[in-house]
Amino acid sequence: MVTAATTPVPSPHEAIGVVDLNVSDRVLTVRLSDLANGYTRHLWREAFQALRRSEEAGIHGQTPVWGNLPGADRVVYAMVGDAGFGGMLKFTFRPGETSYTNLISKPGLAATVWIDRERHRFISCNFKNNRQS
């Protein structure tokens, strides 16, 4: 017997994010790279608007956009940041989060953001260091 899935399977699209760091507040802000193509820009805008609408409706926690770090998944979730540049994702880390300290202590901080191309929603954000220290 074959049954239909009740939840659609995501169709991930990769978007390269530019990371800004606010060390004193332990915040990483991610915006879409200026080199992104038109389709990726469209998906990003749609996903950002959907995240903003869900936060405004108070249902943010039902489908969080998780931030993953090397060796540590689901460390922090995204909140809506500044709407400039098509929308920014804001990740605020808890004090004492050692994976955050390890991440920002190396050069080349970058982010890959995954967007569901069917639902136009952010799926997750993977932080990494592109260069060795």
The DSSP-derived string for 102-119 is HHHTSS-EEEEEEEETTT
pLDDT band per the 50, 70, 90 thresholds, residue 84 = confident
User: Residue 64's pLDDT is what?
Assistant: 87
pLDDT band per the 50, 70, 90 thresholds, residue 15 = very high
Is residue 45 situated within a structural domain?
A: yes
Is residue 4 situated within a structural domain?
A: no
Beta carbons of 74 and 126 less than 8 angstroms apart: no
* SS3 of residue 24 by DSSP: coil
Beta carbons of 65 and 52 less than 8 angstroms apart: no
Query: Which element (helix H / strand E) includes 75?
Result: strand 72-80
User: Residue 85's pLDDT is what?
Assistant: 73
Which letter, b or e, does each residue of 20-29 get, where b requires 16 or more Cβ atoms within 10 Å of its Cβ? eeeeeebbbb
Is residue 125 situated within a structural domain?
A: yes
pLDDT band per the 50, 70, 90 thresholds, residue 133 = very low
Is residue 7 situated within a structural domain?
A: no
Query: How many domains is the chain partitioned into structurally?
Result: 1
7 has pLDDT over 60: yes
User: Residue 56's pLDDT is what?
Assistant: 86
Is residue 33 situated within a structural domain?
A: yes
Mean pLDDT of the chain: 89
Domain around 66: 12-129
* SS3 of residue 65 by DSSP: coil
Is residue 1 situated within a structural domain?
A: no
Q: CB under 8 Å to 126, separation ≥6 — which residues?
A: 67, 68, 111, 112, 113, 114
Is residue 39 situated within a structural domain?
A: yes
Is residue 6 situated within a structural domain?
A: no
What pTM value is reported for the model?
Answer: 0.87
